[in-house]
Structure 1
Amino acid sequence: MLTSYRSIPADRRVRLAKRTSNLFRARSRTDTPGLDVAGLSGVLSVDPVAMTADVGGMCTYEDLVAATLPHGLAPLIVPQLKTITVGGAATGGGIESGAFRSGVVYDANVVMDILTGAGDVVTAAPGGPHADLFYGFANSYGSLGYATRLRVRLEPVQPFVALRHLRFHDLAGLQAAVATISAAREHGGERVDYLDGVVFTATEQYLTLGRMTDEPGPTSDYTGQQIYYRSIQERTTDRLTIHDYLWRWDTDWFWCSRAFGAQQPAIRRMWPRRYKRSSVYWKLVALDRRFGIADRLEALHGRPPFERVVQDVEIPVERTADFLTWFLEQVPIEPIWLCPLRIPRRPDRSAGSREPTWPLHPFEPERSYVNIGFWSVVPRQPDDPGATNRRIEAVVGELGGHKSLYSDSFYSREEFAAKYGGAVYSGLKERYDPDHRLLDLYDKAVRRQ
């Protein structure tokens, strides 16, 4: 990769030469040659005693899980989609239903080798000479460098996950339960290892509580005709293998596969099982974006084109009901995913410090949040193509939250700096990319360059 970097002319921007992505930001096309990442895939080693794994930056979580489960281990956080890469998550984020006890993917990293914008490969770890980059790499989206090797923490897992689906009829009750269960890590005298939820309407919501177990018994299969998120409405208990639990959302890309007809029984029977996965649906979305297929169809029916509303926002748990109430009244999108999370405090910070653990992703440490995900389209306003996204950004800010940067953002440069690192980011950029060979974070996240 270093050889590839040096082959790019000094007056050209440096980008990765990768064919796939889990980002939903459009970006300008370029003929600049990209960094060759062919040698950065795969799992390098698994240490069952230390409970760590060394991986290349382009290793997917699908490959990492396949290597660790035979040891009875899994990464602390396994993002929901199989083709998310470990290096990509380290710089762009990732979350799952263990986040209320383990934090986000950043909290699973032990050490990283990073190719910086200056063309150096440095080893970033807490307490080392590049500790500033270790902590500042989170949410930098490749604007400071690219991870070439990572060591990540693992945890013991059991062969099965027993599920309980709890129904709620009002958002206030749902919020209270999230706060209580997240703090106690148990419910009704039973341990809770995993916690997430789905909001269908203002009067129909569910929390799913998962408990790891080695007790034998029948398990459900949601990789064929059955659909996982629909099962939440239909049953109060369930069991999955740990493998199928970790990937339960990938088969139907949560519920987004319905946009391609993949949830219609006749089509689903003909849809090969190996193609029921997020990476396939993402390619279909990419084709639509390239050729404007959906907008052309809408125009044929005399309807306006769509505004894409694909976002994950993090709201303090005590304001969750406020956001959901507003969203359900104002934005015609359902279902909505909920994932509670709590970021551990940095070991070198005093107890009670509110300084963010990850300065570019400003969670207050040891404070409970709820990640709220919604992924669909709404009619576009002719005079403001991003109107709905702008309203969401404003409400999120008013409620003390923030949003992930994998999709469209509309902040001014000043607003963005205030929310995502500001002076800390500028200092990191000056140290690790002084010639600005890599794009600035604002240019990537907002200006879509």
Structure 2
Amino acid sequence: MEAHKALVAGVSERVKHFHETKQAFRIYHGSTNSTRQSHRRADNTVDTSQLNKVLWVDVEKRTALSEPNVPLGQLLEATLKHGLAPPVVMEFPTITVGGGFSGSSGESSSFRHGAFEATVESIEVVLADGTVTTASRTERPDLLWGAASAFGTIGVVTLVEVQLRPVKPYVEMRYLHCATPEEYVDRIAVEAAKPDVEFLDGIVYARDSTVICSGRFADEVPPGRKAVGFTRRFDPWFYLRARDAEKRLVRSAAKKAAAAAAAGTGTSDKDGVQEEVVDYIPIRDYLFRYNRGGFWMARYAFGYFLTPFNRLTRGLLDHFMHTSVMYHAMHKSGMHDMYVIQDVGVPYGQAPDFHRWLDETYAIYPLWLCPLRIRRDAADSAHGLHAQFADPTKTPETLLNYGVWGPVSGTRADIVRKNRLLEHKVQQCQGKKWLYSHAYYTEQEFWSHYDRDAYDAVRVRYGAHDLPSVYQKVRVDYQAEEAALADRPVKALLWKIWPIRGLYGVYCAWTGGDYLLEKKNDGKTKEKKKEKKKEKKKEKKKKDDEGSVQDTTTTTTTMTTTTTPKPPQSAEASGDVAGDASGDAPTGKPVDTPAATSAAKA
């Protein structure tokens, strides 16, 4: 604990410095599962990357005390030793505890337990002035719920107490086929009502074909069956395994229908008479079943690089198929700008029409379905961005989340327009868009969709009103990004040539390096670069001229006198040390400028 306190003291001092100098800052965690472009630099950043330890697991209390940058894979490793796990474990092992709390995160157990933030008992947080404090469900609950899904705009979370629950070694996974949106909405409701169902999600493969995945805990694999894993190199990707189940269920239903038609009787699969397809999955493999392949997003990379998509190629390229590597490549290549990558939730009653609108507007498949309980039952929880979740009169108990992820055609402006269409449609459906991904709202649109009054009240109460807001953190200013790219015409040209940007992303993912911290001078404009070049040319010409004069003087002295000529004056003696004449900093040490630092956003 002493090591933790020392690290937090360092974070506190850094935040206090930014507060006193009135400089905006960003938080550097060391990794991200957001699709937004990073604008962090060493000079505008509070580094919390060393806060990455599980401090303890309390078996009796069933909680874990974790620093914010602990990946869920590491937390799960610590808790499974005691037969425990967090009630909500996001699908990628590199998602961090702090990211799950400060962002918006849910998974297949969220139909029962809510989002990850709903499973947090307490936090330690460094406020905007550097003060270190704590918040829990009974002590400063406004700060706890205000910091949830606030993306670090209330303060810097440095410790998280997470609830735990008993788990078993295996998950019994039942695959259920549905032909229409109405059918899968009904099926989800039926499965969610069963007390022994612990996990529930679905994959929409086509407008008329959806697989619902319903999971229960199991102590062991039945005799004659083998466990199915999803974490080894040549294991199947989960969505492909579920696709095999879909095909089997469709064939079975077709045979039943044909037999019923021949016999002159009717049949229906709605009442549970369809054939069952069941897998037994080790608990860790289940919880991170979507990590390899990034659900199914990695398949698009095979198409982009014209690579065969089969078990052999997936196995050989397995290193690149894990989400941590994929996010690295995506951020460096900027290829997320060519996609719709959104998670949005709508009320169950709106889901069938919303599905048909998605089909007509985008025709992107597969889609991910995940029922998400949003109701806040805790006392005094009506605070922050989602304060209305505590009011049963304003929000439904559960939303059906749609993961809409896939490439779309057109210019960047066309792609932005298609993203904005989705944002507007969700608002019309009285749903919610989760903010880990690109957000294209105007500020007025954004705050008509989220609770500004409750959010600002927490910010003012805890002195965070001078920090950037959630809107400033999540909004994508694509016009500014396009203008910055236009200032680099060579890059802009190369980025349009297939497959250069994709290869660059793969290269960066292969070689490693930090993709979240920009170099300090990367933001220089084209004009500043030109001025720099001019200054260097002037300096070189000046040195050349001085050298020419000195050579002439030496020659003249030798011809007219018999005394030994003095050597030319050194650069150090004349004051022309590299960097001094032009006012530049020495090589490798960029200069801070007030304009650059004051313009930096957190």
For normalisation by structure 2, the TM-score amounts to: 0.66
Aligned to 1:418: 448
**Superposed counterparts of 1:193-272, under 5 Å:** 193-217=198-222, 218-223=226-231, 224-225=233-234, 226-235=236-245, 236-261=277-302, 263-272=309-318
Is the counterpart of residue 281 in structure 1 residue 326 in structure 2? yes
1:107 and 1:425 map into 2 onto residues whose CA distance is 17
Letter in 2 for 1:239: Y
Gaps of 5+ in 1: 295-305, 350-354
Instruction: Give the C-alpha shift of residue 383 in structure 1.
Output: 5.2
Letter in 1 for 2:356: T
For residue 32 of structure 1, give the secondary structure of its aligned residue in structure 2.
helix
For residue 50 of structure 2, give the secondary structure of its aligned residue in structure 1.
helix
For residue 164 of structure 2, give the secondary structure of its aligned residue in structure 1.
strand
Is the counterpart of residue 360 in structure 1 residue 386 in structure 2? yes
**Superposed counterparts of 1:33-72, under 5 Å:** 33-72=44-83
Instruction: Give the C-alpha shift of residue 41 in structure 1.
Output: 0.5
Aligned to 1:4: 14
Letter in 2 for 1:135: W
CA contact (8 A) 2:118 2:376 kept: no
CA contact (8 A) 2:91 2:288 kept: yes
Indicate the structure (1 or 2) with the bigger Cα radius of gyration: 2
Letter in 2 for 1:170: T
TM-aligned CA distance change 1:39 to 1:29, over 3 Å: closer
Is the counterpart of residue 378 in structure 1 residue 408 in structure 2? yes
Instruction: Give the C-alpha shift of residue 233 in structure 1.
Output: 2.2
CA contact (8 A) 2:345 2:433 kept: yes
1:7 and 1:415 map into 2 onto residues whose CA distance is 34
Residue-by-residue CA offset, 1:189-241 (whole Å, 9 max, x unaligned): xx311100000111110100001010234201223332211111213211100
Letter in 2 for 1:245: Y
Letter in 1 for 2:285: D
Aligned to 1:24: 35
Letter in 1 for 2:240: R
CA contact (8 A) 1:140 1:360 kept: no
Instruction: Give the C-alpha shift of residue 385 in structure 1.
Output: 4.3
Aligned to 1:155: 165
Residue-by-residue CA offset, 1:262-299 (whole Å, 9 max, x unaligned): 95334223225x6542101111112211xx6x9xxxxx
Instruction: Give the C-alpha shift of residue 374 in structure 1.
Output: 1.7
Aligned to 1:300: none
Instruction: Give the C-alpha shift of residue 394 in structure 1.
Output: 1.1
Instruction: Give the C-alpha shift of residue 40 in structure 1.
Output: 1.0
Aligned to 1:428: 458
Instruction: Give the C-alpha shift of residue 442 in structure 1.
Output: 1.2
Which of residues 374, 381, 393 in structure 2 aligns to 1:343?
Answer: 374
Residue-by-residue CA offset, 1:15-67 (whole Å, 9 max, x unaligned): 11333211112254656331121431121100111110000011111110010
More strand by share: 1
Aligned to 1:76: 87
Aligned to 1:390: 420
Aligned to 2:364: 333
Is the counterpart of residue 171 in structure 1 residue 181 in structure 2? yes
Aligned to 1:446: 475
Letter in 1 for 2:95: I
Instruction: Give the C-alpha shift of residue 98 in structure 1.
Output: 0.7
CA contact (8 A) 1:258 1:264 kept: no
Instruction: Give the C-alpha shift of residue 332 in structure 1.
Output: 3.0
Which of residues 149, 173, 185 in structure 1 aligns to 2:194?
Answer: 185
More helix by share: 2
Residue-by-residue CA offset, 1:291-318 (whole Å, 9 max, x unaligned): x6x9xxxxxxxxxxx6421110011112
Task: Tell which deviates more after alignment, 114-123 or 254-263.
Answer: 254-263
2:49 and 2:376 map into 1 onto residues whose CA distance is 36
Instruction: Give the C-alpha shift of residue 381 in structure 1.
Output: 4.5
For normalisation by structure 1, the TM-score amounts to: 0.88
CA contact (8 A) 1:12 1:32 kept: no
Gaps of 5+ in 2: 1-10, 246-276, 478-600
Letter in 2 for 1:284: A
For residue 201 of structure 2, give the secondary structure of its aligned residue in structure 1.
strand
